[in-house]
Copies of this chain bind each other. A is one copy, B any other.
Amino acid sequence: MSTPGTPTAKPSAKAAARAQAQRERILVAAQQCFVVHGFHAASMANIAETAGMSAGLIYRYFKGKNDIILAIIERQLEEARADVAKLHSSSDLVGGIAEVFQQWQANDPSITSAALFLELTAEATRDPEIAAATHASDKVFRADLASWFARSAAEGGLGVPKEQVATRVLILQSLIEGLAMRAISQPDLTVEQVKDALSQFLPSLLTAEA
């Protein structure tokens, strides 16, 4: 079936690359549409137009709308993990979180929108597939955070006592996710206020002492 005389490896590799690029194009468009219209209000036609292709073509790359949502959750996990990694390295947790807050408030498309994050979590309540993906994603994310808390300072961690790790991760994560809601519900909240608040209460979470 392959053209005789040419190695099959190269064309198929090229095709796979193109397919991957198309998937990416669709996901970017979908994320944008979901942010603007919401999961259910965003139509496939909408996504297709944003991606600059016909609606039917999307089904060559995704099984359906739900499949797109699932893929977006995975994207989100990767982004979130990258963000966490950035927080570690910067060792300026307050500044890092404040920046994320600011991006949420500005609806910065370079990170996952706060609204999308909320809607996605709500949807996990109803769609079992989304629930599974969300829970798995969340578990990995928590493990990342926990490992950072538990590692010794010499290894770039915080050296938090083991029996304290889960508790502090819980508080930190709640605080961050709560700020996602604040970014939406309290639009006149300034980054400075957030920084002030975090400066005051984060330190007690990050000390090595019990």
Chain A interfacial positions (CB closer than 8 Å to B):
1, 35-41, 52-54, 107, 113-116, 118-119, 121-126, 134-135, 138, 142, 166-168, 170-171, 173-182, 184-187, 189, 193-194, 196-197, 200-201, 204-205
Given A115-B126, A126-B36, A185:B1 Cβ within 8 A: no
Whether A193 contacts B167 by the Cβ 8 Å rule is yes
The residue from B116, B176, B187 contacting A178, defined by CB atoms under 8 A apart = B176
A185 and B135 in contact (CB under 8 A), knowing A1-B53, A179-B174, A193-B166? Answer: yes
Candidates B36, B121, B170, B193; contact of A184 at CB < 8 Å: B121
Complexed CA–CA distance, A93 and B55 (Å): 52
Chain B residues whose C-beta falls within 8 Å of the C-beta of A52 in the assembled complex: 1
A193 to chain B, nearest CB (A): 7
Contact between A167 and B196, CB atoms less than 8 A apart: yes
Contacting residues, chain B, for A107 (C-beta < 8 A) = 125
Cα A124 to Cα B115 with chains together (Å): 9
List B contacts of A119 (CB < 8 A): 118-119, 122
Q: Which residues of B contact A38 (CB under 8 A)?
A: 40, 122-123, 126
Which applies to chain A's interface (DSSP): helix, strand, loop or mixed?
helix
- Contact (Cβ within 8 A) A185 B134: yes
Tell whether, in the assembled complex, residue A121 and residue B196 are in contact, meaning their CB atoms are under 8 Å apart.
no
Asked if B204 and A189 sit within 8 Å, CB to CB, the answer is no
Q: How far is the CA of A116 from the CA of B125 in the complex (A)?
A: 10
CA distance A23 to B124 in the complex (A): 29
In whole angstroms, what is the CA distance A194 to B169 when docked? 11
Question: Which of B40, B122, B194, B201 is the one whose CB lies under 8 Å from A118?
Answer: B122
A137: nearest chain-B partner, CB-CB: B185
Q: What are 30 A-B contacts defined by CB distance under 8 Å?
A: A1-B54, A36-B126, A38-B40, A38-B123, A38-B126, A41-B126, A107-B125, A115-B121, A115-B122, A115-B126, A116-B122, A118-B121, A118-B181, A119-B119, A119-B122, A121-B181, A135-B185, A138-B185, A168-B197, A170-B189, A171-B175, A171-B201, A174-B174, A175-B175, A177-B182, A178-B179, A178-B181, A201-B201, A201-B204, A201-B205
